[in-house]
Structure 1
Amino acid sequence: MTSRSTSPTTRSGTSRGRQETYPGMPPETCQDHRSRIAIGIDIGGTTFTVCAVERDGVRITDTTGPTPATDDPDDMVAGLAAAAAHLVTAVAQTHAAPVDGIGIGVPGTVSADGGTVVDCPNLTVLNGLAVPALMSERFGVPAFINNDAYCAALGELRYGAGRGHPNVLVVTLGTGVGGGVAIDNRVLRGPRGILGEIGHIIIDPDGPPCSCGANGCLEALVGKDAIIRRACEGLRQNPQSRLAEAPDAITPRLIAELAAQGDEYCRQIVDWIGECVGLALADAIVLCDPDVVLIGGGIAGAGEMLLEAIRHSVGRHSRISGFDPSNVIACGLGAGAGAVGAAALVFECDGAPA
């Protein structure tokens, strides 16, 4: 890649004697030791996923667990490192090739030099933390970090539903709402690392406050907590919904599952989510001009129901773009897109794209 702002972040220290590489170096300077297997860690506000990935995108093994509920940075890193260590051991037992690096995706922004997490609104314990260096020290391999939506976009572009499409917009619907943009087969982040942050497009200026400090952002409307809050507020008028059987157990995933099973109230919530996402996409599409828009994350479990709602909204609100709403499709890697893309950070920084 050609600059710090549009590339995977820099390599943290390593004890393995491999050549130091930085964004902007030509591929021929860093192809002597091409990585074969990488560990990818996707840290979400609620759950994390760790996977071991071969250079061609094949997932060797993976694991998912709850993100450590702690305010102690050391405990957070220790919990993630333990999960990664389990996969490193598994790879050593089944493959002759060693793990050559670790990639990490975080739900926030990282410093321009890739050394620290700058701002993680939904996981503030990571703020200011030098995650790559800490992981590199523990495992003795280079470590890289970037925004989780960047990683999801990279994973989909290289190995998922974005393959064959040089211009891709990825939207992740989870604890927060993230976005990643690929132009001409490169995932971009911009000079401040915010390119593609569709979750902070304002849908309703008079809407609820967002963690970023603004009001009515897409994330403030269809992030995990916002969806749960909206579902709970409407139960009094919709007592027939199966959500009323366990109001304390409501999650976006449960809403998606019940909607698919025919729960009318849950279907209304999914339709409303689709309307909001489509409104934001109408703006993003005229700015990014993507070939396809890929939708992933927990609520994406609603499948075609959610996709149809988004397509309908895009069709109504994006009149001049010429974008075909049928090109709003599901992420091909599912919930693993972020972790696979995080692993791809290692391959991208090791020379030519995977």
Structure 2
Amino acid sequence: MAPIYLSLDIGGTKIAAAAVDAHLQMRGRITVPTRSATPAALLASIRQAVAEVVSQAGAEPGAIQAVGCGVPGQVDAATGLVRHAVNLNLSHYPLGARLREELGRPVAVENDVRLASLGAYHHLRRTRPNDRLHLNSLLYISIGTGLAAGLVINGQLYRGRHGLAGEIGHVPVDPDGPRCACGARGCAEEYISGRGLLRLAREHLSRFPGHPLLTRGDELTTRAIFQAAAAGDEAGSAIIDAFAARMARLLYAVAMSYDPDFIVLGGGIINAGPVLFQALQRHMEEMRTEAPVARMLLPPERIIALAGENMGIQGGIMLAVDAGCCRT
């Protein structure tokens, strides 16, 4: 029976699953809806995803060697305990242990953004062989519903003492800013995230009375803003430009903090289209012109947007292979 490794990207609305063989060739890839009203419902969804992807791979459950899972929340990677995952209604839940009981195989659980950073690291090593000698560290920044990062050093995830490394979205940047769900005021993700973009848009649109975006009211979406900017709309372009300026300052800050070889951008906001990355590049070039250290820390060829790529799935594959190799 040919062995397979499974990767699960467990999100609040869907679970993406993939199966690869021992040569890391893709054998199956599916998505199923996430049911997360209770832990039992979530386990049933995961069970469905595993069954469907194993079937698509033309394999049997006994062929599974190991599983790598990404979860949107705070995770104890050593034990697979999900300390807190709001979107999945989990609190101090032993997801890794439950899945090991279900499958009888090693299961590794990791924070989803951290897992995506591992996927991005291996993706670049595979697709940019000329950069391998210069790819010792990588910082992956996910901008979507929230803001978070993952750091890979010499192929290994850096988690920090409490497993909170990369939680850049909860760095306070404005003491008078809005209250964040974490309890602090003016956290970075209140400004650089999907809701941050919407808040910024409403501020800008007050200068454009009667603008079509303004008439949407509570129905205003990030997609509509990106579409307006891509069409050359003045207000839409101004909103995206202002948001890109915020992103540029964020990248400068994290580059000064971590000095990584590469910075990779991902997440729903990055996936919305190239108009944001183009604006970001303009602001980064202004920084390089003004500050010599920015030219050193932020060369354009070392800042990459991986739009449309599921780095979480790729990271889960590497996590599963590592877990399978460590079987005793």
Would you call these one fold, judging by a TM-score over 0.5? yes
Partners of 2:81 and 2:95 within 8 A in 1 = yes
Structure-to-structure mapping, 1:64-103, within 5 angstroms = 64=31, 67-68=34-35, 70-92=36-58, 98-103=63-68
**Unmatched 5+ stretches in structure 1:** 1-34
* TM-score normalised per structure 2: 0.82
Higher helix residue share: 2
1:230 shift after superposition = 4.0
Structure-2 change in CA distance of 1:184 and 1:123 (3 Å): same
Q: How many residues align?
A: 314
TM-score normalized with structure 1 length: 0.76
- Alignment check: 8 A CA contact 1:241 1:266 kept: no
Q: Whose strand proportion is higher, 1 or 2?
A: 2
- The question of whether the paired residues in 2 share the 8 Å contact of 1:311 and 1:325 is answered with no
Aligned counterparts of 2:178 and 2:106: Cα–Cα separation in 1: 41
How far off its partner does 1:118 sit? 1.3
Q: How does 1:161-172 map to 2 (within 5 A)?
A: 164=132, 165-172=135-142
Q: Sort the Cα spacing of 1:59 and 1:243 in 2 relative to 1 into closer, same or farther, 3 A.
A: farther
- Does residue 342 of structure 1 match 2:309? no
Q: Please say which of residues 295-304 and 257-266 is displaced more in the overlay.
A: 257-266
Query: How big is the shift at 1:116?
Result: 0.8
Percent pairwise identity: 31
Using the TM superposition, give the Cα deviation of residue 234 of structure 1 relative to its aligned residue in structure 2, in angstroms. 5.0
**Counterpart mapping for 1:192-271 below 5 A:** 192-232=162-202, 234-235=204-205, 237-238=207-208, 242-244=212-214, 246-247=216-217, 249-271=219-241
Q: Is the 8 A contact 1:303 1:330 kept in 2?
A: no
* Structure 1 residue 172, shift from structure 2 partner: 0.9
The farther-off stretch of 38-47 and 316-325 is: 316-325
Q: CA deviation at 1:39?
A: 1.9
Distance 2:225 2:21 in 1: 35
Give the letter for the 1:331 counterpart: L
> Which one of the candidate residues 71, 74, 97 is aligned to 1:109?
74
| Cα distance change on mapping 1:88 and 1:338 into 2, 3 Å | same
Mapped to 2, the partners of 1:301 and 1:240 lie a distance apart of 29
1:140 corresponds, among 104, 111, 115, to: 104
Q: Which structure has the higher relative contact order (CA within 8 Å, separation 6+)?
A: 1
Does structure 2 retain, via aligned residues, the 8 Å contact 1:92–1:98? no
**What pairs with 1:27-46 in structure 2 (closer than 5 Å)?**
37-46=4-13
- In the TM superposition, what whole-angstrom CA distance separates every residue of 1:133-174 from its partner, at most 9, and x where no partner exists? 222233332211011111101111112467622211111112
Q: 1:295 pairs with 265, 276, 292, which one?
A: 265
Note the residue ranges of structure 2 that are not aligned, 5 or more in a row.
none
Asked whether 1:155 is paired with 2:125, we answer no
What's the CA shift string for 1:274-330, capped at 9, x where partnerless?
222222222211121112111111111244322233334445568435223412211
The CA RMSD measured in Å over matched residues stands at: 3.1
